[in-house]
Amino acid sequence: MEVRRVAVLGAGLMGHGIAQVCAQIGKYEVNMRDVEQRFLDSGIAMINDSLARIVRKGILSEEESKKVLARIHPTLELNQAVQDADFVIEAVTENPTLKKSLLMDVGKFAPSATVIASNTSSISITEIGAATGRPSQVCGMHFFNPPQLMKLVEIVRGLKTSDETVELVREISIKLGKDPVLVKKDTPGFIVNRILSQALNEAVYLVAEGIATPEDVDKACELGLNWPMGPLKLLDYIGIDTDLFITEIMVKETGDPKFRPSNLLKQMVRANLLGRKTGRGFYDWSKQ
């Protein structure tokens, strides 16, 4: 199957980056859809900012940057976004009900041959696939933030995902300059989040129990484990609410108490201390 046009559903933190990578590296025509004009405007602004930085570094010319933007087509209409798409990447909020409702409509509007990928970081691909009415053509395609820079893509096979769908997603990932890994079974958290969620949660427990400050926990991991960024600063980038959602999904789906989130995480979400996006989490981002 030859892919010429990609629909990216969601223009937010992940969606705009995925759309940029598809247009810039994959050279696909990209329909980028969101539910409000302000979200589309914000997504395009972030793409413009990213491209400008790439141009300043000499990686891309001004003319090439304009061509990338010309390949991205913002729209508010789902039908318009997917009706001519060969490949759909869903990148909306990590909410099972929202994702299933959206992909149910994608299943109705997209051509019968269209393959659908979800950028979910924790929700069951089997469950998402069932909602589309074409589960053999649904696969997980989990990018990492920021999609423009991070090389990894987790390809996640649902219970009914076909070999052909997995191979197509692998080929597209490589064309986008990514280095994919295959998650052979549909398991909560896939590979990275299954490992990382416990490490991040333990870092929160260290702070909650008064054992160390966020700064010292992060310094210990950066200098002692050679992490490029400490776990608590990383949580501020990911979003405290997103991490809490992932850990709660892990507990619910596995029944394993080792994934149980710290009460401090819950308190921070209640206080809207969600990290960079609200200006404060474990760190103060309000002046940055």
H, E, C per residue of 241-273? HHHHHHHHHHHHHHCCHHHCCCHHHHHHHHCCC
Identify the active-site residue in 122, 142, 197, 262: 142
152-157 β-sheet, strand order: 72-75, 29-33, 5-9, 87-90, 115-118, 138-143, 152-157, 179-183
- The total number of structural domains in the chain stands at 2
Q: Is residue 142 flagged as an active site residue?
A: yes
Give me the domain span that covers residue 161: 5-183
Mean pLDDT of 106-125: 94
Return mean pLDDT, the chain.
94
Closest C-alpha among 262, 55, 246, 14 to residue 148: 14
Q: What is the pLDDT of residues 132-158, one digit of tens each?
A: 999 999 999 999 988 999 999 999 999
Catalytic residue among 193, 197, 201, 262: 193
Catalytic residue among 29, 90, 94, 154: 154
Residues 106 and 83 in one domain: yes
285 located within any domain: no
In a domain, 188, yes or no: no
- Contacts of residue 112, Cβ cutoff 8 Å, sequence gap at least 6: 134
The answer to the question of residue 229 being in a domain is yes
CATH code at 85? 3.40.50.720
Where is average pLDDT lowest: 64-73, 102-111, 118-127, 157-166? 118-127
Answer whether residue 284 is part of any domain: no
226 is catalytic: no
Please give the average per-residue pLDDT across 128-133, as a whole number.
94
Together in a domain, 152 and 248: no
Q: State pTM to two decimals.
A: 0.88
Q: Please, which pLDDT band fits residue 68 given cuts at 50, 70 and 90? A: very high
From 183, 213, 243, the end of a domain falls on 183
The domain boundary residue, chosen from 152, 183, 214:
183
Q: Are residues 133 and 235 in the same domain?
A: no
Active-site residue 253, yes or no? no
